[in-house]
Amino acid sequence: MKTPKRIGILTGGGDCPGLNAVIRAVVKTVIHDYDMAVVGFLDGFEGLVENKFINLTRDSVSGILTRGGTVLGTSNKADPFKYPIFEAGKIEYRDRSDHALKTLEEHGLEALVCIGGDGTMVVSQKLAQRDIPVVGIPKTIDNDLVGTDVTFGFDSALTTATEAIDKIHTTAQSHHRVMVIEVMGRYAGWLALCSGIAGGGDIVLIPEIPYSIDSICEKIKERKYRGRYFSILVVGEGAKPIGGEIVVKKRIEGSAEPLRLGGISYKVADDIEEKIQVETRVTILGHLLRGGIPTPADRLLATRFGVAAAEQVATRNFGQMVALRGNEIVAVPIKDIAGKTRIVPLDSPYLAVARSTGTCLGE
């Protein structure tokens, strides 16, 4: 079997800490171990369609391990199969996959490494169906990709969220308030649940468990009777009340997943104030969670994923996404995981420990 000589790489979807660590690991490994050349496409699949690229060398990835964001840029609006064209204030979608294929051909690329979340894996799968040799690497702060125990970016976002909750504790205590902290995560509650546990949240609301406002207020009152005049409530952006709806912040036309969530924290806070007249404040952590340097755990995972992806390319094991299972890095077929969301299972050990330590889950 002949090892590929030239490969492409891109980052798609929302940015997160660890993307540069992965790019670095892939580039260094394919050059060092396999003597390949690497083309980096700019702004996700947009770079592939529009042929925007830079050549990546050992020098160009030197010093990026610790940097947040992605040196390649990214986009969540550039599906080559449904490519948005903005004209006269209107959007039209066209199939531009032929442009993507032409770009790969022009550069003489024998493989494409796609680093991203579910949207990126869906596009990768469509490329694979057109015989493009792809290898996927799972990233997202939401930790909601099927097939891997964890995505890189999650640990860094969890660290930022936990530090924020720690800091907000002091105001909660000093002012005897309920502090509501909203975290990202879309339809999965991993970030809310894990930061809620790590930050000692009294109430944690996740999309997987619709909440009862009465149960939340009971918890706050019960704490008050015990002399705890403050409460910390952590809520995932996709949470909703029993019988209620998710709060949609806006619609982003041209995006593969157009709905942006956000603002449930205001509803929860208003409802608490109305029901039990306790002073309540809201902090939405938002994109803060995607910024900053990757934690050591994310740097390690990103580096392991990058090296493993390079190995998949070298052995021509295409159509696969590298993944973590236990402490092993494995390869899983992208077709088995694309388009699926890994939400928190109701028998999750995290939910069990939250309940055992008296955390109210709004049930």
Single residue of 14, 44, 80, 201 touching ligand F6P by CB under 6 A: 14
Size of the site for ligand F6P (CB under 6 A): 13
Whether the CB-CB separation of 14 and 186 falls below 8 Å is answered with no
| Closest CB to ligand F6P among residues 110, 208 | 208
By CB under 6 A, residue 140 contacts ligand F6P: yes
Distance CA 341, CA 363 (A): 23
Q: Could you give the 3-state DSSP secondary structure of residue 277?
A: coil
By CB under 6 A, residue 290 contacts ligand F6P: yes
Single residue of 6, 67, 260, 340 touching ligand F6P by CB under 6 A: 260
By CB under 6 A, residue 76 contacts ligand F6P: yes
Q: Could you give the 3-state DSSP secondary structure of residue 156?
A: helix
What size, in residues, is the chain? Answer: 363
Single residue of 30, 114, 141, 269 touching ligand F6P by CB under 6 A: 141
- Ranges within 192-221 binding ligand F6P (CB under 6 A): none
Distance CA 249, CA 246 (A): 10
Distance CA 341, CA 215 (A): 28
Return the H-helix or E-strand segment holding 115.
strand 111-116
Q: How far is the CB of 142 from ligand F6P (least distance, A)?
A: 5
Going residue by residue from 231 to 250, which x/- string records binding to ligand F6P, judged by CB under 6 A? ------x-------------
Residue 142 catalytic?
yes
Tokens of 115: 């680093």
CB-CB neighbours of 249 under 10 Å: 14
Return the H-helix or E-strand segment holding 198.
helix 190-198
Q: How far is the CB of 65 from ligand F6P (least distance, A)?
A: 22
Q: Which of 15, 43, 142, 298 is catalytic?
A: 142
Name the H helices within 59-117. Answer: 97-106
* Stretch in the footprint of ligand F6P (CB under 6 A) among 29-37, 60-68, 179-187, 346-354: 179-187
Give me the residues that bind ligand F6P (CB under 6 A), please: 14, 76, 117, 140-142, 184-186, 237, 260-261, 290
